[in-house]
Structure 1
Amino acid sequence: MKIWTVANQKGGVGKTTTTVTLGGILASQGKKVLLIDTDPHASLTYYFGIDSEQLEISVYDIFARGKNMKKEEILQSLCPSSMENLDILPATMAIATLDRSMGNKNGMGLLLKKALAKLDNEYDYAILDCPPVLGVLMVNALAASERILIPVQTEFLALKGLDRMMRTMELMQSSQSKTYQYTIVPTMYDKRTKASLEAYKTLRTTYGDKVWPGVIPVDTKFRDASLAMKVPSLFCPKARGVYAYEALLKYLMKINGEASL
């Protein structure tokens, strides 16, 4: 199972949209995909019409019970989506308490990685949707990941959020003796505005080939798909935003040495 984490220490840059859209495209290609919500706001969970307040088991239990949680119990906590091959590990507000209750305990940073290892033969891909705040949840999501996708809105303030994210990864790399593979994904690009043009130019100049050469354009179809609680690749397969994510997926598979369908 390949594990990708979608992360940025700024909200509103397209993390959940990226998670849902890539997951939907992979599932439509016949890949077995697990989407994991590690954000207390539970945007990914609500996207699929799952009421987080009604859940008996969620991603919270992986942290609360740790290695004592068996594979069968993890599988029982998953929620199927309306799309074949696509399942959700939902979040609840309870995970907002993890930093206070468990943040200082040893070994907390690898709980999610160890839990996902138990599902290794169940899925082809797991994609994690991260909170915009550095803490136990983000640390676990980054530690579990093989590649980090960093959506960055093409505007000035979002570039400042990217600076914080890069510093976080540098700190974690030094503490874990691990080199993160990451791709910066320019999002909400509007070629009509000078702000988008300048922000994209700055990204390319500053981060070079770590930036995906394409862009995810502003596309209202993403909002419509969210309202309908359907993945964009099913709801609006010919939307320009979906085409952009298909191009991103081909790029990711190419740099990972995989064959795209």
Structure 2
Amino acid sequence: MKVWSVANQKGGVGKTTTVVTLAGLLAGAGHRVLVVDLDPHGSLTSYFRYDPDELEHSVFELFSEEVPDRNRLKSLLLSTSHERISLLPASTALATLERRAVGKEGMGLRVARALRRLDGEFDQVLIDSPPVLGVLMVNALAACERLLVPVQTEYLALKGLERMVRSIAMINRARKRRLEYSLVPTFYDRRTQASVNCLRELHRQYPEQMADVVVPVDTKFRNASVQGVVPSALDPSSRGVAAYAKLLRTLMAQQGRSEA
């Protein structure tokens, strides 16, 4: 079971879109996929038509006194619009976690431990993390083998990326194995000088980390979210889906080489 996390310390850069689009493509290829919502805002949970304000059970239970056992974890999973995608949802109770976690040991590894107990149930896990460095993002980074950092192609997102890169460096100092990450340019509009200049600057500053793909502005993403379906189910030939399909091929090839 492979675990990828999607994170950035700036909101509105396409994290949830990245998770649901890659999940849909993986599921469409026959993989069993788990998506995990670690954002108190619950965008991923809401995408699949669950209300984070109303859920009685959620990922929050991973942070109780003991990590739930395998059967309890499976009971927390919800179905989605795709039969091969399961959701471990968020609830608004996550917003209280930072305060509750103060002084408690091992809180940064709860998600990693829970996922190990689900090994064999899924082929791929995708984690959607909150746009702030705290115990939830630390859990997302600690649990994954590959990190994807969506970066909106505009100036403010570029400045915010600097904070995220510093956070990754800090996490790498604490990890036994280096966390590899890829920057994924999103909301790209080649008609605007701002997008063009930002993409050029990303390649200049982070040549080794740049994914070989640019995700364009695509209204099909919004249409898919309105219907609560993965974008590839709505329009598999859309420009946005094609970009993520190219990204997925690259990621799977890299994963294959690392296992060789």
Q: Shorter-normalised TM-score: what interval? A: over 0.9
- 2:182/2:209 contact within 8 Å kept: yes
Alpha-carbon distance, 1:64 to partner = 1.6
TM-superposition CA deviations, 1:110-163 (whole Å, max 9, x none): 111000000111000000000001111000010000000000001111011111
Alpha-carbon distance, 1:177 to partner = 3.9
In structure 1, what residue type is equivalent to 2:181? Y
Alignment match, 2:52: 52
Please state whether the residue corresponding to 1:128 is helix, strand or coil.
Answer: strand
Alignment match, 2:170: 171
Q: 1:103 to 1:178 in 2, by over 3 A?
A: farther
TM-score (norm. length: structure 2): 0.96
Alignment match, 1:133: 132
Alignment match, 1:6: 6
Alignment of 1:109-124 (within 5 A): 109-124=108-123
- 2:81/2:228 contact within 8 Å kept: no
Unaligned 5+ runs, structure 2: none
Alignment match, 1:223: 222
Please state whether the residue corresponding to 1:98 is helix, strand or coil.
Answer: helix
Alignment match, 2:179: 180
Alpha-carbon distance, 1:103 to partner = 3.4
1:29, 1:175 → 2: CA distance? Answer: 35
1:143, 1:35 → 2: CA distance? Answer: 16
- 1:31/1:85 contact within 8 Å kept: yes
In structure 2, what residue type is equivalent to 1:57? H
Alpha-carbon distance, 1:209 to partner = 2.5
Alignment of 1:35-184 (within 5 A): 35-67=35-67, 69-184=68-183
TM-score (norm. length: structure 1): 0.96
Q: Aligned residues: percent identity?
A: 51
Alignment match, 1:255: 254
The alignment of Structure 1 onto Structure 2 pairs a total of residues equal to 257
TM-superposition CA deviations, 1:231-250 (whole Å, max 9, x none): 10001212110111101100
TM-superposition CA deviations, 1:189-220 (whole Å, max 9, x none): 00001111111111111111210121000001
- 1:109/1:143 contact within 8 Å kept: yes
**Deviation beyond 6 Å, 4+ runs, structure 1:** none
TM-superposition CA deviations, 1:90-110 (whole Å, max 9, x none): 000001111011133111111
1:243, 1:175 → 2: CA distance? Answer: 36
1:173, 1:247 → 2: CA distance? Answer: 27
In structure 1, what residue type is equivalent to 2:134? G
> Which sits farther off after the overlay, 240-249 or 100-109?
100-109
Please state whether the residue corresponding to 1:208 is helix, strand or coil.
Answer: coil
Unaligned 5+ runs, structure 1: none
